[in-house]
Amino acid sequence: MSKSPLIERYFACIGAQKAGTTWLARTLARHDDIFITPVKEIHYFDHVAGLTGHLSDRKRRSRYRKYHQRMWTQWNRWKEHRAQGDWYRAYMRRELDDDWYASLFADRQGKTVAGEATPEYALIGKKGFRHMKALAPDARVIYIMRNPVSRAWSQLLHQCRARRLNPARVPVEAFLSMAAEPRFEAIADYLQTLDDIDTEFGSSRALLAFYEDLHDDRAAALRNVCDFLGVGLDDSLMHGLGARYNISPPVPLPNELSEALRMKYGDIAEGVASRMGRIPESWQADFK
């Protein structure tokens, strides 16, 4: 079997769930020099690690159907969707291997830099990042961290929707039980992910960011990301900066749960502050 083609000028945006990766990916997709995969979260490296079912035949077929639905219902974007046909055919290939993953970045529509955003790559560890570098030797990683308390609450609300629970009726003990589930714990372990990224990428090929900084000054954040990726800041990115995606319902965080989450994540917040030299003000308010 021939060696898989290397992916040039590649990056992955990772982070804790509910940390703004969707906004960043959709914004960067408008850049003239940046190709973002039409399916935002590819999940290849966590699939290889046995951590996900997102690349099952059923889920891929569902995404393919939705692609065709968009193409034939969003007439104002028909040309854009039609141009994605070859990409989706590559995405639907049966054998999921390194060749398959590399093929998703082969035709990048004339753009120089290509990437994808899968938050769960924060879980793949040093071995997973080494695999990423084997396919893309110059790979860069953008890692976004969000206040552990607000991020956990946002993810808990997401879990309530997925499990068809009314968050107003879920006791604090049940929320804490969800937060103690292995996958929930792992995605919240910023310090482990920082260790893995530092070991495999070092400081020059990793951009570490706070969700709160991104959304306090989105224009400045985009300039920073574009500089990191080696592309100029495209004026088209400056339009629609206020857009938000995957917004959690406005359910207030119970005081008892808030206190428990602050206790749970205090060491992580302290460790992040030590490594980054600072944490945003909202973190400081929760972790005094």
Please name each of the domains of the chain with its CATH number.
10-55+96-283 (3.40.50.300)
Predicted pLDDT at 235: 75
pLDDT score of 279 more than 50: yes
Amino acid at 112: T
Predicted pLDDT at 251: 87
Predicted pLDDT at 13: 95
Q: 207 or 245: whose pLDDT is higher?
A: 207
DSSP classification of residue 112? S
Q: Hunting for tokens 């206790």 — which residue is that?
A: 263
Tell me the backbone φ, ψ of residue 168, rounded to 5 degrees.
Answer: -70, -15
Tell me the backbone φ, ψ of residue 80, rounded to 5 degrees.
Answer: -65, -45
In 203-271, beta strands by DSSP E: 206-210
CA 201 to chain CA centroid, Å, is: 17
Taking the C-alpha atoms of residue 195 and residue 181, their distance in angstroms, rounded to an integer, is 22
* Token pair for 195: 């260790």
pLDDT score of 284 more than 50: yes
Taking the C-alpha atoms of residue 118 and residue 94, their distance in angstroms, rounded to an integer, is 21
Residue 166: CA atoms inside 13 Å, Cβ hemisphere, count?
2
pLDDT score of 245 more than 60: no
DSSP classification of residue 29? T
Tell me the backbone φ, ψ of residue 201, rounded to 5 degrees.
Answer: -120, -25
pLDDT one-digit tens code per residue, 16-51: 766 678 888 988 998 999 999 999 899 999 999 999
Q: Which residues contact 142 (CB under 8 A, 6 or more apart)?
A: 11, 12, 13, 14, 15, 24, 206, 207, 209, 225, 228
Q: Choose from 22-26, 77-81, 268-272 the range with maximum mean pLDDT.
A: 268-272
Stretch 159-181: mean pLDDT: 94
Predicted pLDDT at 103: 95
Taking the C-alpha atoms of residue 154 and residue 152, their distance in angstroms, rounded to an integer, is 5
Q: What is the largest CA-CA distance in the chain?
A: 58
pLDDT one-digit tens code per residue, 185-216: 999 999 999 999 999 999 999 999 999 998 88
Predicted pLDDT at 22: 86
pLDDT score of 1 more than 50: no
* Token pair for 172: 């604090």
Let me know: does 122 contact 16? Beta carbons within 8 Å: yes
pLDDT one-digit tens code per residue, 117-165: 999 999 999 999 999 999 999 999 999 999 999 999 989 998 999 999 9
Predicted pLDDT at 21: 84
Q: Give me the torsion for CA of 268, 270, 271, 276, rounded to 10°.
A: 120
